[in-house]
Amino acid sequence: MTNKSILYEYWQTLYPATSTERLDQFLSTLSPVAGSNEVQDWYKDAIVYALYVDLFNSNFNGLIDKLDYLQDLGVSCLWLLPILDSPMRDAGFDIKNYDRIRPDLLGLPETASKREQTQVFKEFLKAAHEHHIKVIFDVAINHTSDQNPWFIESQKLTPNKYSDYYIWREQPDKYLDARLLFKGIEDSNWEKLGDRYYFHRFFSFQPDLNYRNPEVLLAMTENLLYWQKMGADGFRADAIPYLWKEDHTSCENLDNTHIIVKFFRAVLDYVNPGTLLLAEACQKPKEVVKYLGNGDECHAAYHFPLMPMMFKAIAMQNGEPVKRTLSSEVTPKINKENQWMTFLRVHDELSLELVYVSEEDRHFIHSRYCHDPKWDFRVGEGISARLSELMKRDADKIALSYSLMLTLTGTPVVYYGDEFGKFNDEDYYNEQIRLTGKDDTRFLVRGRINWEQLEMDLSDENNFHFRVFELIFGMLNSRKKQKAFGRGETQFIEMYDQEGSIRPEVLAYYRIYKDEKLFIINNLSDCTVKLVNPIPEKDMAILYPKGMRVEDPNNQIVLEPFGFVWFLVLE
């Protein structure tokens, strides 16, 4: 069965009472791109770098100027945080027009034509691809801005094409079992407008789309196709678990949500296979893997629970939280073609939602890392702070956390500025509160890069930012040379000292892919450890050492506090 024909099955599942005539019309407009020699699972070997274009370096021309920097850093994929036209009340996740990029990001006036905007973006894509860097970006598929023309038309009492694009009720009497995602910021999932209410899962200015209307499904699919044709290499599907709503349910992870995702994937694959669809599903791994489907939904998904467990392991000085999280008990096996995306920090808070941490874990992590009450997010469900702040600006602990993220599993995501230890940005935080009217502490982890100041910092060997950058730069460029990091299986092993005692503060594992075998040892503690090396010294080569030495004649590995080492096994 072709991708095109299976779309009829999906359509009839979602809209059994609706004719396929509209689908026929839509499919008649699709034309596959000619075959490509591109590796379709390129995302497995990628190092992803997430950034806001304007905060990184003003606009796309500024970003082009920094492509050499990113390529030298080892980056092979850019994840552009929201770039589509938006009033920017939620950092761009409130989309006003899906077929436009914000003019300021393009260095163009508001009056610039769509053709002018397209030309600038195509030039950027060309430059990125010439640097062997893929480009993906965010598309919020669950909701829009309340300034979106669809929503403006939907408000009108006179029936029109968009009347049913959103969820309107005379009273807020449906979907009452849907949890409040922005606890402490919003007090309801319903917002009154005139004499009616509309449903939203996020901010009140972000009304949810109504996927029970087939025109919404087709309109969103056309949005993805527009950018795919432009040359985008993939999309981060924002807020994917919430698409379909049913009364008397949590309105999360419903069967028809998966059908919608399958529809998106089938269309994208039909037109141009290899276009990445990345699931942003903030759920337990057993639910997240469902968004990978059987090779027919998303290609990759974030491993949300691993992130807080890396922080917990470092705070506990014990690797058990990481081992348990990556065990089959918590993380189901994924298909060969799929991939986990791992991260330490992104544009959001260090999330501690109960969907993937226990109340005990949440309290433990929050108490160890929320060093300032201002960082608290959603009443203890998260911590809004940069990696450098969470680690109290300790370069050794920052490097150790990166060693875990870069070597454990999947494809790593580097959040812009973390490679040099960027701090929380109080000025940007206050500026955004004035602009949006919302006290959203996640603004602390955003902010602009001052390149002139950074160049000065990176020229000073005694500067904190220089030390962090030197460490992360070395690790990223060592990692990108080894296929096993992105594709290999993980085998944890116990490490022993000379007395034969297991050292729980040491997290060690093999990464194995085909005939490539890597051996990683991380000292999670603030004490020096001496370990028995299970591999003869002649059978291993050092890929990246930090605070490590081998003592002869016993082939004993010594790791300083928060030290680590990556070996290539030669046997």
pLDDT of 436 reads 81
Does the structure show a pLDDT above 90 at 41?
yes
| CATH number belonging to domain 488-569 | 2.60.40.1180
More confident residue, 498 or 95: 95
pLDDT of 438 reads 79
Active site residues: 238, 280
Does the structure show a pLDDT above 80 at 554?
no
Percent of the chain having pLDDT more than 70? Answer: 98
pLDDT of 185 reads 84
Tokens of residue 260, six digits: 């919608």
Average pLDDT estimate for 198-213: 97
Q: What is the sign of the dihedral through the CA atoms of 343, 346, 348 and 349?
A: positive
Rounded to 10°, the helix 3-14/214-230 angle is 150
Tokens of residue 531, six digits: 């370990």
Q: What is the mean pLDDT of the chain?
A: 95
Which residue in the block uniquely carries the two structure tokens 């499919």? 27
Q: Give per-residue pLDDT as tens, 448-463.
A: 999 999 999 999 999 9
Average pLDDT estimate for 199-225: 97
Beta carbons of 260 and 244 less than 8 angstroms apart: yes
In which band, very low, low, confident or very high, does the pLDDT at 36 lie, cut at 50, 70 and 90? low
* Residue extents of the structural domains in the chain: 145-208, 306-327+345-408+420-464, 488-569
Strands (E), 380-488: 382-383, 411-415
Which of 204-213, 352-361, 366-375 has the lowest average pLDDT?
A: 352-361
Outline where 234-302 has alpha helix (H): 255-271, 285-288
Does the structure show a pLDDT above 60 at 37?
no
Tokens of residue 174, six digits: 């449906």
The class (CATH top level) of 145-208 is alpha beta
Antiparallel, parallel or unpaired: β 134-140 and 234-238? parallel
Does the structure show a pLDDT above 80 at 240?
yes
Q: Give per-residue pLDDT as tens, 523-546.
A: 999 999 999 999 988 899 999 999
Q: Give per-residue pLDDT as tens, 371-417.
A: 999 999 988 899 999 999 999 999 999 999 999 999 999 999 999 99
Beta carbons of 257 and 244 less than 8 angstroms apart: yes
How far is the C-alpha of 506 from the C-alpha of 316, rounded, in Å?
11
More confident residue, 77 or 185: 77
In which band, very low, low, confident or very high, does the pLDDT at 118 lie, cut at 50, 70 and 90? very high
Average pLDDT estimate for 320-329: 96
pLDDT of 1 reads 43
Does the structure show a pLDDT above 90 at 509?
yes
Model-level pTM?
A: 0.95
543: left (phi over 0), alpha (psi -120 to 50) or beta: alpha
- State the first-to-last Cα distance of the chain, in angstroms, to the nearest integer: 45
pLDDT of 40 reads 85
User: What are the distances in angstroms from CA 391 to CA 71, 266, 528?
Assistant: 27, 43, 19
In which band, very low, low, confident or very high, does the pLDDT at 35 lie, cut at 50, 70 and 90? low
